[in-house]
Amino acid sequence: MNGFTSWPPEVTPDQLEQLTLLATTYALSHSLLYLPPHGDIPPPPAPASAIHAPLSLFPTPVPRELFVRARRIQRAYNVLYARVAIDNKFLDEIMGAGGVADVDEFTGELWRAWKGLREEGPVQPLHLGLFRSDYLLHQPTSEAEISLKQVEFNTISSSFGALSQQVSGLHSYLQASTGYFGASPLLTPNNLPLNETVKGLVAGLAEAHNAYGVPDAQILFVVQANERNIFDQRLLEYELLLSHGIHIIRRTLPELEHSMKLSPARALLLPSGASSASPLSEIAVVYYRAGYTPTDYPTPAIYATRANLERSRAIQCPSLALQLAGGKKIQQVLTMSGVLERYLSREEGADEVRESWVAMWGLDDEDLPIPGAKPTNVIHVDDVKEPKGTREARIRADTLVLKPQREGGGNNIYRAAILPFLDTLPAPERRAWIAMQLIRPPAAVEGYLVRSGDAQTGPVKGRVVSELGIFGWTLFGRETNGQESVREAEVGFLVRTKGEGVDEGGVAAGFSVLDSVLLVD
């Protein structure tokens, strides 16, 4: 594995300059783009400029067998989360009253909306999930075998599918145009896997559109205002139209509060144009690229708008149930003995799914067999009246991350920050937090990271950590006879690379760059 740990290969300053020029111009030519930051000044209604997305000059080495495994077990994860999302009793127990909903206001609002809709009687039995399962390579010591461990499973607004395809194309282009100057025998076309995530994700949206059964119905993209990552969304929009003839409407949640209508049969109707006087269009699928963070719901009326969207006959991507199923607490409870096996058999991949997990527990847990490394902190907590889960988090703080029920990056508590955080965390709120063993990526891997605006200094070389994401979609529900219906597929991948020592990993949040896979044996 020497070729892996000594990455990237050596190139001359002139070669590095040429690679940077080719990469940035390719990015600008192929929609590998962001809108520029606008600060406190509202952006113009029609974008006048764009910058290339942050990117890596060299693809990231990933052991071939682990990449194949990650893609294979995505099919099992697709089925697993579909089944969890239709288990109302399980979701109520973990995320509902008496659980997370009582101490996490955001989760509580979503759960209460879902509970109210169930009591009314839903009119749409189908759910659509566009998923992304994120992993890190794990090598706790330099002698240990490298394994694949899951960071999290995303059930809402699983972004960067389109841009991940573009950056895979960028690295293939650099290889075809320069051969990377012969810098490494690993940099061959056979080691750069094809990435068709746009086609795959759109296939899931189109499958749901077809299941809705109204050919001229449209798909609603629920988006955030002033979205900088708009090109990642637009590439999906273009594929829907050009390959499937499906039109989309983009609206924010506040815009929907005033423009959406429900027909007597609960069809979701929206003005097809910017004016409220525009003809109304029926919506087949509601695809959320917003709604995953409390800031997306500034008023109670916005929560009511989200509920009204789900009250309609339109297929939700995700439904409130599926969004709740993606909570960190669900991820942790699934690791407990026997819970995963309620939803997934060994023949369906349960063993490989369980093997992809690290140790996790709730801060309020008492029954707590914790595998893994011995604790590193010498802390005497025998007299502290705390649940065992919290005491273990104190003892093992140097090896942990604490996670709340949030998406989008910037929410987790790491290592040295854990002890002071636990000192101030109100006791009832412990049930909304999980402790997770830190994954230890292979050491001494480096990369060249390029961000727009760094032209004066060129690409930045440094030690890096890369996170692999695998995309999938699932269309599922219960038939009228109570039988389970699941259609699903694995559809592509994403790599995000960040500097070593940077805990958070979001590209949109500014921590990471977009990358792709180089298969190594």
Please pick, among 71, 396, 403, 498, the residue that the annotation labels catalytic.
Answer: 403
User: Is the backbone of residue 377 left (phi > 0), alpha (psi -120 to 50) or beta?
Assistant: beta
Q: Which of 490, 496, 498, 512 is catalytic?
A: 496
CA distance 371 to 270: 52
Q: Which long-range contacts (CB under 8 A, 24 or more apart) does 187-191 make?
A: 187/9, 187/58, 187/59, 187/518, 190/519, 191/518, 191/519, 191/520
Q: Among the options 328, 391, 431, 440, which is catalytic? A: 328
Active site residue 328: yes
Q: Is 227 annotated as catalytic?
A: no
494 with 488: CB under 8 angstroms?
no
Which residue matches tokens 């609206």? 251
Is 182 labeled as catalytic in the residue annotation?
Answer: no
Decide: 107 and 101 in contact? Cβ < 8 Å. yes
- Confirm whether 388 is a catalytic residue: no
Please indicate whether residue 329 is annotated as part of the active site: no
Catalytic residue among 56, 71, 96, 152: 152
Check 408, 499, 506, 510 and give the catalytic one.
Answer: 408
| DSSP H or E segment with residue 85 | helix 64-85
Q: Exactly one of 407, 467, 488, 490 is catalytic; which is it?
A: 407
Torsion of CA 49, 53, 58, 62, to 10 degrees: -150
Q: Is 273 a catalytic residue?
A: no
Say which of 132, 289, 306, 313 is annotated catalytic.
132
Number of CB atoms found within 10 A of residue 472's CB:
27
Contact 9, 183 (CB under 8 A): yes
Please report how many Cα atoms fall inside a 13 Å half-sphere around the Cα of residue 512, on the Cβ side.
Answer: 22
| 287/283 Cα distance (integer angstroms) | 10
159 is catalytic: yes
**Active site includes 385?**
no
Specify whether 372 is catalytic: no
- Catalytic, out of 56, 159, 184, 195: 159
List, by residue number, the catalytic residues.
132, 152, 154, 159, 328, 403, 407-408, 496
